[in-house]
Amino acid sequence: MSSVLVVAGAVFANGKLLIAQRAYPPELAGLWELPGGKVESGETHSDALVRELCEELNVDVSVGEPLSEVVRPREGLELVAIRARIVSGEPRPVEHRALRWVDADDLIALDDAGSVVPNDRAWIPELVADLRVE
């Protein structure tokens, strides 16, 4: 059975984390996520993240360490989040409704309001811990 692997970027800069508001599908539209997408055949996780963040945000990133939590919402789908930093470019919401730079309190408030994509909620404790030391 073929399984889908999704990489998502935890992009940090100036003590904040970049999050993106989904425009589709309807059940996820309006919710915030770590931007990313499906790894294509022949790509490493790092290759896929660089490509996705270039396509979706129009930035070049350098890829760092993955978060420890791997999300497996159902059989055949796996999501990995990887830390990244912008090397060049100013992020723009090419495919998203909006982008936001958040601190730890902002992220917790968005989660409490039910505004985070369900799969991404598993990463929040580790993201908050990173933001507290950024």
- Residues at the contact surface with ligand 523, assessed by CB under 6 A: 6, 8, 33-34, 36-38, 79, 117, 119-120
Residue nearest to ligand 523 (CB): 37
Q: Tell the smallest beta-carbon distance from residue 73 to ligand 523 (Å).
A: 7
Q: Tell the smallest beta-carbon distance from residue 117 to ligand 523 (Å).
A: 5
Return the number of the residue (83 or 120) whose C-beta is nearest ligand 523.
120
Rg (the chain; Cα; Å):
14
Alpha carbon separation from 29 to 14, 22, 95, 101, 116 (Å, rounded): 28, 5, 12, 19, 10
d(CA 108, CA 113): 9
Return the number of the residue (34 or 61) whose C-beta is nearest ligand 523.
34
Q: Tell the smallest beta-carbon distance from residue 105 to ligand 523 (Å).
A: 21
Encoding tokens for residue 106? 């902002």
User: Do the Cβ atoms of 103 and 15 come closer than 8 Å?
Assistant: yes
Q: Tell the smallest beta-carbon distance from residue 3 to ligand 523 (Å).
A: 12
Return the number of the residue (21 or 119) whose C-beta is nearest ligand 523.
119
Q: By CB neighbour count within 10 A (0-12 exposed, 13-18 middle, 19+ buried), where does 77 fall? A: middle
Return the number of the residue (32 or 86) whose C-beta is nearest ligand 523.
32
